[in-house]
């Protein structure tokens, strides 16, 4: 409220510090902490720190809400984090993926505020990502149903945020006239975010500046005079905001100064501030603003008769939009190249459409190759395009067939995803209802025997009962660990954190852990032939879990006095790790059921140890996170070998 009414950030920061102190000392319940992290992240943090700090608050709010059962605030955190990640410049494909997970969670919690906001955000992100622009160049946002739902639920704040996101997207796509209409319509409801100090308010203010500056020369003097005062007011606001949160506003202030200098005809000042804005946005990883600043600089130099300089900035803008994942913007830029090429070559006689198309394709090819190089080939498949080709009847037929196959494939994928979701649910309930209950039944039963009849039992029976209790407890612990990690992976809470590390100590840790459970029971020897200097690039905790599950399985299915061997070989940039045993082996038909959530396969061990198959499913997910493969080689009576691959070094 202090930011909204008086721009008094000094006092606002002090209130935030007081709130933080109170929460750390007095309100320690997870449900209270969830509300605190949500409020401080949405209303205070971004005014003084990089937006990524607010995202951390939202993650903490979700974690605390999940821990304390305050799941409604966890859903609110997802909604706020969605727009926060967008304004951070999160790559759009990842943004869509996260928002889809958040939407599913919010639907399960019946949080209508979050549902409406996430559905609206997803609609906008998909428009930016689709890469399709209709022949009439008017994008169909298909948001009538979304707006109807928002109105139906009286979510005026959600409507305000949706308008801000849509106006921002239109601005990036170059449709400033339509963006201004939505911006104007949002003015009457901006208080719904401004009075709470929410991030969409300053983003609305700055986007409005960019929109007005872009349209400035297209309006009459009366409108320009009115806009002048608004632009100066926004410059003043940006100056204050940049003082307290330079990470979030330095690049915005520089870009605003550049646009004002352009309007005033001050070439030197405009050029200097465009470069400053580009550097500041890149340094703080605001990829979308780096892209726009480059685009504005390109247009600026083109209008000042410096096409070679303009081409450099256009190339950088293209690469930045490419990295952001804004395929629709890329499509618009390529279409502008075709139009520009046609405009500049039509004075040559004779000039064929084929020549113009060829030259445009060459220029676009240069832009794409540069974008791929800057992106370290991360988006190689997206480099190929059919933009601008003269479509013959045969070509149109080929495209129709390809689209039909694509739709069929998408439908198949959706069906498989649905089957996987149902199988995951069934597996979860099966484990809770049966597999997790079994070891506790043994623990309770035999511990009760010891409690009631210990004085009447001989030492051998006491040892036997104690061994059963110990085995059951270990089995329950293994199952719980796998169940917890699996649940975290299904809810997106396990983050892949790769690093380069030596493999040998991890293997020794697994050997020691599982070897302590083995002596005195099955007397199985666990050997490692892994060289002490082999390095891998991966998530150490995930690889530990993979090895723990594979060695644990080998212990179950190996007879007394058997042997388990862990080995690792270097193969074409990858490390192939194997866990082999001298156990009972697996038949070919059962091997085909391994690693599949929708296949039921669980066999008792040689000492009747229970299993669920969940460990192998978890192994497969973790191996795939590393970009590797996992498989089994076995035959009945001849033992088994489970092998998986992970990168031997950081992949470029």
DSSP 429-478: HHIIIIITHHHHHHHHHHHHHHHHHGGGS-HHHHHHHHHHHHHHHHHHHH
Summarize the confidence of residues 205-228 as an average pLDDT: 96
Looking at per-residue pLDDT, the higher value among 557 and 378 belongs to: 557
pLDDT at 176 over 90: yes
Alpha helices in 6-143 (DSSP H): 9-25, 30-43, 51-68, 71-88, 92-109, 112-130
41/60 Cα distance (integer angstroms): 10
pLDDT at 159: 96
pLDDT at 293 over 70: yes
pLDDT at 385: 44
Question: Per-residue confidence at 386, pLDDT binned at 50, 70, 90?
Answer: very low
pLDDT at 257 over 50: yes
Sheet holding 574-581, edge to edge: 525-528, 563-571, 574-581, 640-647, 630-634
Looking at per-residue pLDDT, the higher value among 232 and 65 belongs to: 232
115/109 Cα distance (integer angstroms): 10
227/526 Cα distance (integer angstroms): 77
349 CB burial (10 A radius; 0-12, 13-18, 19+): exposed
343/356 Cα distance (integer angstroms): 10
Question: Per-residue confidence at 441, pLDDT binned at 50, 70, 90?
Answer: low
What mean pLDDT is reported for the chain? 83
Strand bridging mode 630-634 / 535-538: unpaired
Question: Per-residue confidence at 381, pLDDT binned at 50, 70, 90?
Answer: very low
pLDDT at 390 over 50: no
315/369 Cα distance (integer angstroms): 10
pLDDT at 384: 44
pLDDT at 519 over 60: no
pLDDT at 352: 59
Q: List the Cα angle 211/213/216 in 5-degree steps.
A: 110
Look-up of token digits 């919690």: 109
pLDDT at 630: 94
What are the tens digits of pLDDT across the range 314-359? Answer: 989 998 998 999 999 998 988 887 777 666 666 555 555 666 566 6
Cα–Cα distances in angstroms (integers) from residue 616 to residues 145, 388, 626, in the given order: 43, 48, 16
Q: Give the residues across from 578 on adjacent strands.
A: 567, 643
492/49 Cα distance (integer angstroms): 26
Question: Per-residue confidence at 109, pLDDT binned at 50, 70, 90?
Answer: confident
150/33 Cα distance (integer angstroms): 29
* Cβ partners under 8 Å of residue 347, min gap 6: none
pLDDT at 343: 64
What are the tens digits of pLDDT across the range 544-594? Answer: 889 988 998 898 889 888 999 999 998 888 999 999 999 999 988 888 888
609 neighbors 553 (Cβ within 8 angstroms): no
561/525 Cα distance (integer angstroms): 7
What are the tens digits of pLDDT across the range 236-250? Answer: 999 999 999 999 999
438 CB burial (10 A radius; 0-12, 13-18, 19+): middle
236/604 Cα distance (integer angstroms): 72
469/488 Cα distance (integer angstroms): 28
pLDDT at 363: 66
Question: Comparing C-alpha atoms, which of 396, 121, 506, 392 is closest to residue 129?
Answer: 121
Summarize the confidence of residues 11-34 as an average pLDDT: 81
Portion of the chain with pLDDT greater than 90, in percent: 47
| Secondary structure string (H, E, C) spanning 635-647 | CCCCCEEEEEEEE
pLDDT at 50 over 50: yes
DSSP 162-209: HHHHHHHHHHHTT-HHHHHHHHHHHGGGTHHHHTTT-THHHHHHHHHH
Cα–Cα distances in angstroms (integers) from residue 331 to residues 55, 139, 327, 328, 541, in the given order: 31, 12, 6, 5, 42
Residue 350 preceded by cis peptide, ω within 30: yes
pLDDT at 528: 92
Question: Per-residue confidence at 389, pLDDT binned at 50, 70, 90?
Answer: very low
pLDDT at 366: 67
- Least confident range from 85-99, 258-272, 363-377: namely 363-377
119-133, 408-422, 485-499: which is most confident: 119-133
With b for 16 or more beta-carbon neighbours within 10 A and e for fewer, the 214-253 pattern comes to bbbeeeeeeebeebeeebeebeebbeebbebbebbbbbbb
Phi, psi angle pair for 613, to nearest 5°: 85, -5
pLDDT at 432: 52
Look-up of token digits 């450099």: 312
pLDDT at 357: 66
The residue length of the chain stands at 652
Question: Per-residue confidence at 423, pLDDT binned at 50, 70, 90?
Answer: low
149-153, 361-365, 389-393, 452-456: which is most confident: 149-153
Summarize the confidence of residues 277-283 as an average pLDDT: 96
Q: List the Cα angle 580/586/591 in 5-degree steps.
A: 100
Portion of the chain with pLDDT greater than 70, in percent: 80
Looking at per-residue pLDDT, the higher value among 27 and 74 belongs to: 74
pLDDT at 28 over 80: no
Phi, psi angle pair for 523, to nearest 5°: 50, 50
* Cβ partners under 8 Å of residue 594, min gap 6: 586, 601, 613, 616, 632
- SS3 for 577? strand
The whole-model pTM stands at 0.56
pLDDT at 443 over 90: no
pLDDT at 354: 66
Q: List the Cα angle 609/614/616 in 5-degree steps.
A: 95
pLDDT at 473: 76
pLDDT at 77 over 60: yes
Summarize the confidence of residues 409-428 as an average pLDDT: 69
420/597 Cα distance (integer angstroms): 7
């Amino acid at each position: 409220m202090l930011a909204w009414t008086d721009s008094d950030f000094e006092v606002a920061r002090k209130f935030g510090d007081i709130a933080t102190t109170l929460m750390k000392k007095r309100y320690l319940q997870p449900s209270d902490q969830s509300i605190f992290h949500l409020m401080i992240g949405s209303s205070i943090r971004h005014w003084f720190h990089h937006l990524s700090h607010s995202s951390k608050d939202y993650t903490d709010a979700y974690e605390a809400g999940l821990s304390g059962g305050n799941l409604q605030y966890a859903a609110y955190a997802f909604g706020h984090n969605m727009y926060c990640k967008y304004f951070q410049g999160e790559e759009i494909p990842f943004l869509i993926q996260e928002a889809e997970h958040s939407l599913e969670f919010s639907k399960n919690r019946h949080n209508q505020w979050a549902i409406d906001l996430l559905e609206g955000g997803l609609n906008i992100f998909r428009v930016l990502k689709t890469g399709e622009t209709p022949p009439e160049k008017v994008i169909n946002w298909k948001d009538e149903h979304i707006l109807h739902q928002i109105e139906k639920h009286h979510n005026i704040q959600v409507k305000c945020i949706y308008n801000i996101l849509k106006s921002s997207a239109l601005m990036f796509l170059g449709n400033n006239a339509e963006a201004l209409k939505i911006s104007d319509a949002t003015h009457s409801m901006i208080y719904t975010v401004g009075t709470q100090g929410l991030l969409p308010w300053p983003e609305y203010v700055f986007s409005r500046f960019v929109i007005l500056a872009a349209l400035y020369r297209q309006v009459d003097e009366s409108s320009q005079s009115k806009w002048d005062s608004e632009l100066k007011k926004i410059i003043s606001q940006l100056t204050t905001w940049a003082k307290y949160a330079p990470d979030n506003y330095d690049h915005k202030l520089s870009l605003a100064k550049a646009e004002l200098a352009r309007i005033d005809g001050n070439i030197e000042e405009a050029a200097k501030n465009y470069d400053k804005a580009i550097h500041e946005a890149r340094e703080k990883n605001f990829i979308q603003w780096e892209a726009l600043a480059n685009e504005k600089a390109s247009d600026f130099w083109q209008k000042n008769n410096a096409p070679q300089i303009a081409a450099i900035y256009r190339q950088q803008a293209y690469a930045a939009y490419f990295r952001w994942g804004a395929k629709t913007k890329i499509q618009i830029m390529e279409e502008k190249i075709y139009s520009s090429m046609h405009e500049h070559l039509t004075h040559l006689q004779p000039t064929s459409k084929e020549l113009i198309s060829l030259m445009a394709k060459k220029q676009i090819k240069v832009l794409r190759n540069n974008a791929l190089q800057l992106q370290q080939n991360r988006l190689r498949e997206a480099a190929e395009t059919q933009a601008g080709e003269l479509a013959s009847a045969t070509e149109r037929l080929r495209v129709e067939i390809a689209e039909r196959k694509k739709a069929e494939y998408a439908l198949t994928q959706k069906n498989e995803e649905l089957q996987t979701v149902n199988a995951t649910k069934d597996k979860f309930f099966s484990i809770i209802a049966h597999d997790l209950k079994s070891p506790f039944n043994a623990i309770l039963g035999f511990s009760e025997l010891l409690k009631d009849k210990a004085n009447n039992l001989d030492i051998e029976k006491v040892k036997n009962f104690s061994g059963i209790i110990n085995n059951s407890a270990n089995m329950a612990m293994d199952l719980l660990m796998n169940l917890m990690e699996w649940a975290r992976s299904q809810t997106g809470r396990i983050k892949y954190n790769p690093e380069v590390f030596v493999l040998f100590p991890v293997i020794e840790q697994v050997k020691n852990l599982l070897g302590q459970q083995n002596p005195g029971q099955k007397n199985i020897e666990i050997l490692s032939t892994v060289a002490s200097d082999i390095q891998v690039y991966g998530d150490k905790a995930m690889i530990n879990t993979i090895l723990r599950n594979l060695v644990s399985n080998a212990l179950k299915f190996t007879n007394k006095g058997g042997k388990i061997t862990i080995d690792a070989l270097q193969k074409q940039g990858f490390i192939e790790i194997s866990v082999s045993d001298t156990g009972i082996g697996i038949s070919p038909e059962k091997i085909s059921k391994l690693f599949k959530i929708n296949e039921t396969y669980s066999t008792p061990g040689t000492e009747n140890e229970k299993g669920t198959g969940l460990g192998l499913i978890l192994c497969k997910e973790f191996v795939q996170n590393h970009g590797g493969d996992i498989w089994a080689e076995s035959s009945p009576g001849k033992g088994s070998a489970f092998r998986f691959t992970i990168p031997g070094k950081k992949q470029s």
